[in-house]
Amino acid sequence: MKALLIYPEFPDTYWSFKHALAFSGKSSAFPPLGLLTVSAMLPNTWEKRLIDMNVETLNPQDLEWADIIFLSAMLVQKDSLNEVITACLARGKRIVVGGPYVSTTHDHIPADHIFIGEAENTLPEFLRDFELGIPQPIYRATEKPALTETPIPDFSLINFNYYSAMSVQYSRGCPFQCEFCDIIEIYGRVPRTKTNQQIIAELEALYNAGWRGMVFIVDDNFIGNKRNVKQFLPELIKWSQQHEYPFSFITEASVNLADDDDLLKMMQDSGFRRVFLGIETPVEESLKETHKLQNTKHNLLDSVKRIQSYGMEVMAGFIVGFDNDPEDIFDRQIEFIRESAIPLEMVGLLTALPDTQLWRRLKKEKRLLQESSGNNTDCSVNFVPRMEINRLIEGYKQILRKIYGSREYYERVLKCLSRVVQNKPEPSLGFFNEGVAFFRVVLKLGIIDKERREFWRFLKKTLFVHRNRFAQAIRLAAMGYHFRKLTEKYCS
Protein backbone atom coordinates (compact mmCIF):
# COMPACT_ATOMS: atom_id res chain seq x y z
CA MET A 1 0.00 0.00 0.00
CA LYS A 2 1.36 3.43 -1.01
CA ALA A 3 0.28 6.25 1.31
CA LEU A 4 0.79 9.88 0.34
CA LEU A 5 0.48 12.41 3.15
CA ILE A 6 -0.23 15.95 1.93
CA TYR A 7 -0.11 19.17 3.93
CA PRO A 8 -1.98 21.99 2.14
CA GLU A 9 -0.47 25.41 1.57
CA PHE A 10 -0.81 28.33 3.97
CA PRO A 11 -1.70 31.72 2.51
CA ASP A 12 0.74 34.58 3.01
CA THR A 13 -0.10 35.76 6.54
CA TYR A 14 1.64 37.29 9.55
CA TRP A 15 2.00 33.72 10.85
CA SER A 16 3.73 32.41 7.72
CA PHE A 17 6.98 34.37 8.31
CA LYS A 18 7.50 34.09 4.55
CA HIS A 19 9.46 37.30 4.03
CA ALA A 20 11.72 36.61 7.03
CA LEU A 21 12.39 32.98 6.12
CA ALA A 22 13.69 34.05 2.71
CA PHE A 23 16.76 35.58 4.39
CA SER A 24 17.78 32.21 5.84
CA GLY A 25 16.97 30.20 2.74
CA LYS A 26 14.19 28.31 4.53
CA SER A 27 10.77 27.62 3.03
CA SER A 28 8.64 27.12 6.13
CA ALA A 29 8.86 27.70 9.85
CA PHE A 30 7.79 24.22 11.01
CA PRO A 31 7.04 20.79 9.52
CA PRO A 32 3.50 19.28 9.68
CA LEU A 33 3.77 17.49 13.01
CA GLY A 34 0.29 15.98 12.84
CA LEU A 35 0.95 14.15 9.57
CA LEU A 36 4.36 12.98 10.79
CA THR A 37 2.58 11.46 13.77
CA VAL A 38 -0.05 9.86 11.53
CA SER A 39 2.73 8.36 9.43
CA ALA A 40 4.21 6.73 12.52
CA MET A 41 0.82 5.09 13.19
CA LEU A 42 0.50 3.54 9.72
CA PRO A 43 1.66 -0.05 9.09
CA ASN A 44 5.41 -0.49 8.66
CA THR A 45 4.74 -2.46 5.48
CA TRP A 46 3.24 0.57 3.76
CA GLU A 47 5.31 2.88 1.57
CA LYS A 48 4.94 6.45 2.79
CA ARG A 49 5.73 9.84 1.31
CA LEU A 50 5.03 13.37 2.53
CA ILE A 51 4.36 16.43 0.39
CA ASP A 52 4.35 19.62 2.43
CA MET A 53 3.00 22.10 -0.09
CA ASN A 54 4.60 24.93 1.86
CA VAL A 55 8.05 23.72 0.86
CA GLU A 56 7.56 21.75 -2.36
CA THR A 57 5.13 21.44 -5.26
CA LEU A 58 2.48 18.74 -5.40
CA ASN A 59 2.83 17.17 -8.85
CA PRO A 60 0.32 14.97 -10.72
CA GLN A 61 2.76 12.07 -10.60
CA ASP A 62 2.74 12.24 -6.81
CA LEU A 63 -1.01 11.64 -6.84
CA GLU A 64 -0.70 8.90 -9.45
CA TRP A 65 1.82 7.08 -7.25
CA ALA A 66 -0.52 6.88 -4.26
CA ASP A 67 -3.08 4.23 -3.37
CA ILE A 68 -4.44 6.27 -0.46
CA ILE A 69 -4.05 9.94 0.42
CA PHE A 70 -4.06 11.43 3.94
CA LEU A 71 -4.75 15.15 4.39
CA SER A 72 -4.73 17.38 7.45
CA ALA A 73 -5.46 21.09 7.60
CA MET A 74 -6.29 24.08 9.73
CA LEU A 75 -9.08 26.49 8.86
CA VAL A 76 -6.72 28.97 7.20
CA GLN A 77 -5.61 26.20 4.79
CA LYS A 78 -9.14 25.36 3.62
CA ASP A 79 -8.80 26.79 0.10
CA SER A 80 -5.67 24.78 -0.60
CA LEU A 81 -7.26 21.70 1.00
CA ASN A 82 -10.27 21.94 -1.31
CA GLU A 83 -8.01 22.25 -4.35
CA VAL A 84 -6.07 19.13 -3.36
CA ILE A 85 -9.26 17.16 -2.73
CA THR A 86 -10.58 18.17 -6.17
CA ALA A 87 -7.35 16.95 -7.80
CA CYS A 88 -7.54 13.66 -5.89
CA LEU A 89 -11.19 13.08 -6.80
CA ALA A 90 -10.38 13.66 -10.47
CA ARG A 91 -7.96 10.74 -10.28
CA GLY A 92 -10.28 8.49 -8.31
CA LYS A 93 -8.03 8.35 -5.25
CA ARG A 94 -9.16 7.24 -1.81
CA ILE A 95 -9.06 10.32 0.43
CA VAL A 96 -8.70 10.42 4.21
CA VAL A 97 -9.05 13.84 5.89
CA GLY A 98 -8.54 14.89 9.51
CA GLY A 99 -7.11 17.72 11.55
CA PRO A 100 -8.45 20.81 13.35
CA TYR A 101 -10.46 22.22 10.43
CA VAL A 102 -12.36 19.01 9.74
CA SER A 103 -12.97 18.42 13.42
CA THR A 104 -15.18 21.52 13.59
CA THR A 105 -16.40 21.83 9.97
CA HIS A 106 -16.77 18.64 7.98
CA ASP A 107 -20.26 18.40 6.45
CA HIS A 108 -19.24 19.70 3.01
CA ILE A 109 -15.89 17.91 2.60
CA PRO A 110 -16.11 15.24 -0.14
CA ALA A 111 -13.65 12.73 1.30
CA ASP A 112 -13.99 8.96 1.55
CA HIS A 113 -13.08 8.95 5.23
CA ILE A 114 -13.25 11.82 7.72
CA PHE A 115 -11.65 11.85 11.17
CA ILE A 116 -13.26 14.11 13.75
CA GLY A 117 -11.14 14.79 16.81
CA GLU A 118 -7.87 13.19 17.86
CA ALA A 119 -6.88 10.04 16.00
CA GLU A 120 -4.90 7.93 18.50
CA ASN A 121 -7.90 5.61 18.98
CA THR A 122 -9.77 6.06 15.71
CA LEU A 123 -6.90 5.60 13.24
CA PRO A 124 -6.13 2.05 14.48
CA GLU A 125 -9.86 1.32 14.19
CA PHE A 126 -9.84 2.58 10.60
CA LEU A 127 -6.80 0.48 9.74
CA ARG A 128 -8.52 -2.65 11.10
CA ASP A 129 -11.67 -1.87 9.11
CA PHE A 130 -9.59 -1.10 6.03
CA GLU A 131 -7.87 -4.47 6.28
CA LEU A 132 -11.27 -6.16 6.53
CA GLY A 133 -12.67 -4.18 3.61
CA ILE A 134 -15.28 -2.34 5.69
CA PRO A 135 -13.86 1.17 6.31
CA GLN A 136 -16.45 3.69 7.53
CA PRO A 137 -17.02 7.21 6.12
CA ILE A 138 -16.71 8.94 9.50
CA TYR A 139 -14.54 8.14 12.50
CA ARG A 140 -15.40 10.29 15.51
CA ALA A 141 -13.28 10.33 18.66
CA THR A 142 -15.73 9.80 21.54
CA GLU A 143 -13.13 10.55 24.22
CA LYS A 144 -9.85 12.39 24.62
CA PRO A 145 -7.07 9.80 24.21
CA ALA A 146 -4.18 9.46 26.61
CA LEU A 147 -1.06 10.82 24.95
CA THR A 148 0.83 7.75 26.12
CA GLU A 149 -0.64 6.22 22.94
CA THR A 150 1.08 8.76 20.69
CA PRO A 151 4.15 7.45 18.82
CA ILE A 152 7.36 9.31 18.02
CA PRO A 153 6.67 11.34 14.85
CA ASP A 154 8.16 9.98 11.63
CA PHE A 155 10.85 12.64 11.16
CA SER A 156 12.40 10.57 8.36
CA LEU A 157 9.78 11.93 5.94
CA ILE A 158 11.08 15.51 6.02
CA ASN A 159 14.11 17.36 4.76
CA PHE A 160 15.43 19.43 7.68
CA ASN A 161 16.89 22.00 5.28
CA TYR A 162 13.42 23.29 4.41
CA TYR A 163 12.53 24.35 7.96
CA SER A 164 13.72 26.95 10.44
CA ALA A 165 12.63 24.87 13.47
CA MET A 166 11.41 21.41 14.38
CA SER A 167 8.23 20.64 16.34
CA VAL A 168 7.29 18.32 19.17
CA GLN A 169 4.17 18.18 21.32
CA TYR A 170 4.14 17.66 25.07
CA SER A 171 0.49 18.28 25.97
CA ARG A 172 -2.99 18.93 24.62
CA GLY A 173 -5.79 20.92 26.19
CA CYS A 174 -6.03 24.07 28.30
CA PRO A 175 -7.69 24.61 31.70
CA PHE A 176 -9.05 28.06 30.82
CA GLN A 177 -12.26 28.99 28.99
CA CYS A 178 -11.56 31.87 26.62
CA GLU A 179 -14.74 32.42 24.62
CA PHE A 180 -13.07 32.83 21.21
CA CYS A 181 -10.75 29.81 21.50
CA ASP A 182 -11.32 26.57 19.58
CA ILE A 183 -8.51 24.69 21.36
CA ILE A 184 -10.67 23.90 24.38
CA GLU A 185 -13.42 22.69 22.03
CA ILE A 186 -11.11 20.35 20.11
CA TYR A 187 -8.75 19.17 22.88
CA GLY A 188 -10.73 19.83 26.05
CA ARG A 189 -10.08 21.70 29.28
CA VAL A 190 -8.20 18.93 31.07
CA PRO A 191 -4.58 19.13 29.87
CA ARG A 192 -3.08 15.73 29.05
CA THR A 193 0.67 15.22 28.77
CA LYS A 194 3.10 12.70 27.41
CA THR A 195 5.40 10.94 29.82
CA ASN A 196 8.85 12.37 30.44
CA GLN A 197 10.31 9.34 28.68
CA GLN A 198 8.17 9.93 25.60
CA ILE A 199 9.13 13.54 25.03
CA ILE A 200 12.80 12.87 25.76
CA ALA A 201 12.68 10.03 23.22
CA GLU A 202 11.32 12.46 20.60
CA LEU A 203 14.13 14.92 21.30
CA GLU A 204 16.62 12.07 21.11
CA ALA A 205 15.17 11.08 17.73
CA LEU A 206 15.64 14.62 16.45
CA TYR A 207 19.15 14.76 17.84
CA ASN A 208 20.13 11.42 16.27
CA ALA A 209 18.64 12.53 12.93
CA GLY A 210 21.07 15.45 12.96
CA TRP A 211 18.86 18.38 13.93
CA ARG A 212 20.46 21.26 15.84
CA GLY A 213 18.77 24.56 16.63
CA MET A 214 15.26 25.65 17.49
CA VAL A 215 12.54 23.25 18.65
CA PHE A 216 8.96 24.47 18.96
CA ILE A 217 6.95 22.74 21.69
CA VAL A 218 3.63 23.28 19.97
CA ASP A 219 1.34 23.01 23.01
CA ASP A 220 -1.33 25.69 23.05
CA ASN A 221 -0.58 26.10 26.75
CA PHE A 222 2.67 24.42 27.78
CA ILE A 223 1.99 25.09 31.47
CA GLY A 224 -1.65 23.94 31.40
CA ASN A 225 -0.66 21.03 33.64
CA LYS A 226 1.90 22.72 35.89
CA ARG A 227 2.45 19.70 38.10
CA ASN A 228 3.54 17.50 35.21
CA VAL A 229 5.60 20.27 33.59
CA LYS A 230 7.55 20.76 36.80
CA GLN A 231 8.33 17.05 36.85
CA PHE A 232 9.39 17.09 33.21
CA LEU A 233 11.67 20.14 33.15
CA PRO A 234 14.38 18.67 35.43
CA GLU A 235 14.61 15.75 32.99
CA LEU A 236 14.88 18.18 30.07
CA ILE A 237 17.62 20.13 31.86
CA LYS A 238 19.55 16.92 32.49
CA TRP A 239 19.18 15.76 28.87
CA SER A 240 20.20 19.16 27.51
CA GLN A 241 23.30 19.25 29.72
CA GLN A 242 24.32 15.74 28.67
CA HIS A 243 23.97 16.69 24.99
CA GLU A 244 25.65 20.11 25.40
CA TYR A 245 22.47 22.08 24.69
CA PRO A 246 21.81 21.17 21.04
CA PHE A 247 18.35 22.78 21.06
CA SER A 248 16.75 25.99 22.19
CA PHE A 249 13.01 25.98 22.77
CA ILE A 250 10.00 28.14 22.07
CA THR A 251 6.44 27.47 23.21
CA GLU A 252 3.07 29.00 24.05
CA ALA A 253 1.84 29.61 27.58
CA SER A 254 -0.73 31.49 29.62
CA VAL A 255 0.24 34.73 31.35
CA ASN A 256 0.14 33.09 34.79
CA LEU A 257 3.57 31.70 33.89
CA ALA A 258 4.82 34.97 35.42
CA ASP A 259 3.48 33.91 38.84
CA ASP A 260 5.89 31.00 39.25
CA ASP A 261 9.58 31.85 39.65
CA ASP A 262 10.59 28.19 40.06
CA LEU A 263 8.93 27.31 36.77
CA LEU A 264 10.48 30.30 35.02
CA LYS A 265 13.94 29.36 36.29
CA MET A 266 13.58 25.75 35.11
CA MET A 267 12.43 26.91 31.68
CA GLN A 268 15.40 29.25 31.47
CA ASP A 269 17.82 26.49 32.49
CA SER A 270 16.23 24.10 29.98
CA GLY A 271 17.01 26.43 27.09
CA PHE A 272 13.66 28.16 26.49
CA ARG A 273 14.32 31.32 24.52
CA ARG A 274 10.88 32.53 23.47
CA VAL A 275 7.34 32.15 24.73
CA PHE A 276 4.10 33.25 23.08
CA LEU A 277 1.46 34.72 25.41
CA GLY A 278 -2.19 35.37 24.72
CA ILE A 279 -2.42 38.88 26.15
CA GLU A 280 -5.33 39.92 23.87
CA THR A 281 -6.11 43.35 25.36
CA PRO A 282 -5.22 45.76 28.18
CA VAL A 283 -8.96 46.46 28.70
CA GLU A 284 -10.19 44.49 31.72
CA GLU A 285 -13.86 44.69 30.68
CA SER A 286 -13.02 42.98 27.38
CA LEU A 287 -10.99 40.29 29.15
CA LYS A 288 -13.96 39.57 31.42
CA GLU A 289 -16.29 39.51 28.42
CA THR A 290 -14.24 36.78 26.76
CA HIS A 291 -13.78 34.83 30.04
CA LYS A 292 -10.02 35.36 30.04
CA LEU A 293 -9.99 35.94 33.76
CA GLN A 294 -6.45 34.67 34.23
CA ASN A 295 -5.27 37.90 32.56
CA THR A 296 -7.11 40.10 35.08
CA LYS A 297 -5.35 38.86 38.20
CA HIS A 298 -2.08 40.78 37.81
CA ASN A 299 -0.64 43.77 36.00
CA LEU A 300 0.01 42.49 32.47
CA LEU A 301 3.00 44.74 31.83
CA ASP A 302 4.64 43.52 35.03
CA SER A 303 3.95 39.91 34.03
CA VAL A 304 5.62 40.39 30.64
CA LYS A 305 8.63 42.07 32.25
CA ARG A 306 9.05 39.24 34.77
CA ILE A 307 9.09 36.60 32.04
CA GLN A 308 11.57 38.65 30.04
CA SER A 309 13.81 38.90 33.12
CA TYR A 310 14.32 35.12 32.90
CA GLY A 311 15.92 35.41 29.48
CA MET A 312 12.80 34.60 27.47
CA GLU A 313 11.74 36.88 24.66
CA VAL A 314 7.99 37.37 24.81
CA MET A 315 5.85 37.14 21.69
CA ALA A 316 2.16 37.88 22.12
CA GLY A 317 -1.28 37.86 20.58
CA PHE A 318 -3.58 40.90 20.73
CA ILE A 319 -7.19 41.23 19.60
CA VAL A 320 -9.50 44.14 18.81
CA GLY A 321 -13.22 43.85 18.16
CA PHE A 322 -14.56 42.81 21.57
CA ASP A 323 -18.02 44.15 22.45
CA ASN A 324 -16.55 46.06 25.40
CA ASP A 325 -13.68 47.69 23.52
CA PRO A 326 -13.73 51.46 24.12
CA GLU A 327 -13.29 54.02 21.33
CA ASP A 328 -9.63 54.54 22.29
CA ILE A 329 -8.80 50.80 22.19
CA PHE A 330 -6.43 51.27 19.25
CA ASP A 331 -4.28 53.85 21.03
CA ARG A 332 -4.32 51.74 24.19
CA GLN A 333 -3.13 48.66 22.31
CA ILE A 334 -0.31 50.65 20.69
CA GLU A 335 0.78 52.06 24.03
CA PHE A 336 0.74 48.65 25.72
CA ILE A 337 2.78 47.08 22.93
CA ARG A 338 5.29 49.91 23.09
CA GLU A 339 5.68 49.70 26.88
CA SER A 340 5.88 45.89 26.93
CA ALA A 341 8.95 45.76 24.65
CA ILE A 342 7.41 42.91 22.67
CA PRO A 343 8.84 43.04 19.12
CA LEU A 344 6.77 40.19 17.68
CA GLU A 345 3.07 40.68 18.34
CA MET A 346 0.23 39.19 16.35
CA VAL A 347 -2.58 41.74 16.40
CA GLY A 348 -5.77 40.35 14.96
CA LEU A 349 -9.42 41.22 14.51
CA LEU A 350 -11.71 39.12 16.66
CA THR A 351 -13.07 36.24 14.60
CA ALA A 352 -15.75 33.71 15.47
CA LEU A 353 -14.19 30.31 14.82
CA PRO A 354 -16.58 27.40 14.15
CA ASP A 355 -18.22 25.80 17.18
CA THR A 356 -16.55 28.02 19.78
CA GLN A 357 -18.44 29.63 22.65
CA LEU A 358 -18.17 32.93 20.78
CA TRP A 359 -19.57 31.40 17.60
CA ARG A 360 -22.50 29.91 19.52
CA ARG A 361 -23.24 33.19 21.30
CA LEU A 362 -23.12 35.28 18.14
CA LYS A 363 -25.28 32.75 16.31
CA LYS A 364 -27.87 33.01 19.07
CA GLU A 365 -27.68 36.81 18.83
CA LYS A 366 -28.04 36.56 15.00
CA ARG A 367 -24.73 38.39 14.48
CA LEU A 368 -22.83 35.78 12.47
CA LEU A 369 -22.14 36.78 8.87
CA GLN A 370 -20.03 34.00 7.34
CA GLU A 371 -17.45 31.33 8.09
CA SER A 372 -14.16 32.71 9.33
CA SER A 373 -11.30 32.77 6.85
CA GLY A 374 -9.06 31.44 9.62
CA ASN A 375 -6.79 34.45 9.08
CA ASN A 376 -7.54 37.09 11.70
CA THR A 377 -5.10 39.56 10.13
CA ASP A 378 -6.60 39.97 6.65
CA CYS A 379 -9.03 42.73 7.76
CA SER A 380 -12.09 40.51 7.26
CA VAL A 381 -14.85 40.35 9.91
CA ASN A 382 -17.27 37.42 10.05
CA PHE A 383 -19.76 38.86 12.55
CA VAL A 384 -21.52 42.13 13.31
CA PRO A 385 -19.32 43.99 15.84
CA ARG A 386 -20.62 46.50 18.39
CA MET A 387 -18.22 49.14 17.07
CA GLU A 388 -19.05 50.52 13.63
CA ILE A 389 -17.31 48.11 11.28
CA ASN A 390 -15.39 50.63 9.16
CA ARG A 391 -14.14 52.33 12.33
CA LEU A 392 -13.01 48.93 13.66
CA ILE A 393 -11.13 47.96 10.50
CA GLU A 394 -9.49 51.36 10.08
CA GLY A 395 -8.47 51.40 13.75
CA TYR A 396 -7.00 47.93 13.35
CA LYS A 397 -4.99 49.08 10.34
CA GLN A 398 -3.84 52.06 12.39
CA ILE A 399 -2.34 49.70 14.98
CA LEU A 400 -0.46 47.68 12.40
CA ARG A 401 0.88 50.69 10.55
CA LYS A 402 2.16 52.13 13.83
CA ILE A 403 3.70 49.08 15.50
CA TYR A 404 5.35 47.84 12.31
CA GLY A 405 6.63 51.22 11.20
CA SER A 406 10.39 50.76 11.06
CA ARG A 407 11.41 53.26 13.75
CA GLU A 408 8.73 52.11 16.20
CA TYR A 409 9.58 48.47 15.61
CA TYR A 410 13.36 48.88 15.96
CA GLU A 411 12.89 50.84 19.20
CA ARG A 412 10.93 47.93 20.66
CA VAL A 413 13.65 45.51 19.59
CA LEU A 414 16.32 47.57 21.34
CA LYS A 415 14.18 47.77 24.47
CA CYS A 416 13.64 44.00 24.33
CA LEU A 417 17.38 43.35 23.99
CA SER A 418 17.95 45.43 27.13
CA ARG A 419 15.42 43.40 29.11
CA VAL A 420 16.04 39.88 27.86
CA VAL A 421 19.45 38.65 28.97
CA GLN A 422 19.99 35.00 28.09
CA ASN A 423 22.34 32.86 30.14
CA LYS A 424 23.32 30.59 27.23
CA PRO A 425 23.93 31.32 23.55
CA GLU A 426 21.50 29.79 21.09
CA PRO A 427 22.77 26.73 19.18
CA SER A 428 24.57 27.80 16.03
CA LEU A 429 23.43 26.55 12.65
CA GLY A 430 26.92 27.03 11.28
CA PHE A 431 28.87 30.16 10.42
CA PHE A 432 28.25 29.86 6.68
CA ASN A 433 24.46 29.77 7.03
CA GLU A 434 24.46 32.64 9.51
CA GLY A 435 26.85 34.64 7.34
CA VAL A 436 24.69 34.18 4.24
CA ALA A 437 21.58 35.23 6.18
CA PHE A 438 23.37 38.31 7.52
CA PHE A 439 24.51 39.29 4.02
CA ARG A 440 20.96 38.95 2.69
CA VAL A 441 19.51 41.03 5.53
CA VAL A 442 22.08 43.80 5.03
CA LEU A 443 21.59 43.77 1.24
CA LYS A 444 17.80 43.93 1.46
CA LEU A 445 17.28 46.13 4.53
CA GLY A 446 20.44 48.23 4.36
CA ILE A 447 20.76 48.88 0.64
CA ILE A 448 17.60 48.06 -1.31
CA ASP A 449 14.81 48.75 1.18
CA LYS A 450 13.17 52.18 1.35
CA GLU A 451 13.54 52.11 5.16
CA ARG A 452 17.32 51.56 5.02
CA ARG A 453 18.13 54.67 7.07
CA GLU A 454 16.18 53.28 10.00
CA PHE A 455 17.95 49.93 9.61
CA TRP A 456 21.43 51.51 9.80
CA ARG A 457 20.34 53.63 12.76
CA PHE A 458 19.19 50.42 14.49
CA LEU A 459 22.35 48.52 13.57
CA LYS A 460 24.56 51.30 14.93
CA LYS A 461 22.75 51.30 18.28
CA THR A 462 22.93 47.50 18.42
CA LEU A 463 26.69 47.50 17.88
CA PHE A 464 27.25 50.13 20.54
CA VAL A 465 24.88 48.78 23.21
CA HIS A 466 24.09 45.14 22.42
CA ARG A 467 27.11 43.86 20.53
CA ASN A 468 26.81 40.42 22.18
CA ARG A 469 23.18 40.16 20.98
CA PHE A 470 23.95 40.96 17.37
CA ALA A 471 22.62 37.70 15.89
CA GLN A 472 19.33 38.07 17.75
CA ALA A 473 19.03 41.68 16.58
CA ILE A 474 19.51 40.65 12.95
CA ARG A 475 16.89 37.91 13.32
CA LEU A 476 14.40 40.38 14.77
CA ALA A 477 15.16 42.87 12.00
CA ALA A 478 14.29 40.19 9.44
CA MET A 479 11.05 39.41 11.28
CA GLY A 480 10.16 43.10 11.33
CA TYR A 481 10.61 43.27 7.56
CA HIS A 482 8.13 40.41 7.17
CA PHE A 483 5.54 42.13 9.35
CA ARG A 484 6.01 45.43 7.54
CA LYS A 485 5.54 43.82 4.11
CA LEU A 486 2.32 42.16 5.26
CA THR A 487 1.12 45.43 6.78
CA GLU A 488 1.73 47.19 3.46
CA LYS A 489 -0.26 44.45 1.75
CA TYR A 490 -3.27 44.48 4.07
CA CYS A 491 -3.33 48.12 5.18
CA SER A 492 -2.62 50.06 1.98
Residue 141 contacts residue 118 (beta carbons within 8 Å): yes
Torsion, Cα of 47, 199, 274, 434 (10° steps)? -50
CA angle 428/430/431 to nearest 5° reads: 110
Spatial neighbors of 165 by CB under 8 A, at least 6 apart, are 29, 30, 213, 214, 215, 216, 250
Share of the chain above pLDDT 70, in %: 98
pLDDT for residue 430:
40
Q: CA-CA distance, 83 to 101, in Å (whole number)?
A: 15
Contact 230, 266 (CB under 8 A): yes
For residues 366-383, give the mean pLDDT.
92
CATH topology of domain 2-140: Rossmann fold (3.40.50)
- What pLDDT score does 429 carry? 45
- Quote the CA–CA distance of 224 and 218 in Å, as a whole number: 13
pLDDT of residue 425: 60
User: Which SS3 state, helix, strand or coil, does residue 16 take?
Assistant: coil
Q: Is the pLDDT of residue 203 over 60?
A: yes
pLDDT in tens, 236-285: 999 999 999 999 999 999 999 999 999 999 999 999 999 999 999 999 99
Q: What are phi and psi of 4, to 5 degrees?
A: -105, 120
CATH number corresponding to 165-419: 3.20.20.70
Q: Is the pLDDT of residue 367 over 90?
A: yes
Residues ≥6 apart with Cβ < 8 Å to 113: 94, 95, 96, 97, 126, 135, 136, 137, 138, 139
- pTM score: 0.95
pLDDT digits (tens, 9 = 90+) for 429-473: 443 356 788 899 999 999 999 999 999 999 999 999 999 889 899
- Mean of pLDDT values over 174-200: 96
- For 110-169, how does the pLDDT look when each residue is reduced to its tens digit (9 = 90+)? 999 999 999 999 999 999 999 999 999 999 999 999 999 899 999 999 999 999 999 999
DSSP state letters, 275-291: EEEEEE-S-HHHHHHTT
Specify the pLDDT at position 424: 65
Of 236, 117, 139, the residue nearest 187 (C-alpha): 117
Contact 337, 318 (CB under 8 A): yes
Q: Which of 230, 246, 241, 227 is nearest to 269 (CA)?
A: 241
The Cα 29–Cα 16 span in angstroms is 7
Residue range 211-223: mean pLDDT, rounded? 97
What pLDDT, on the 0 to 100 scale, is given for residue 492?
78
Residue 427: predicted pLDDT: 57
Measured in whole angstroms, the distance separating CA 270 from the mean position of its chain's CA atoms is: 21
pLDDT score recorded for residue 107:
76
Mean pLDDT for 51-71 is: 98
Contact between 382 and 211 under an 8 Å Cβ cutoff? The reply is no
Radius of gyration of the chain (CA): 22
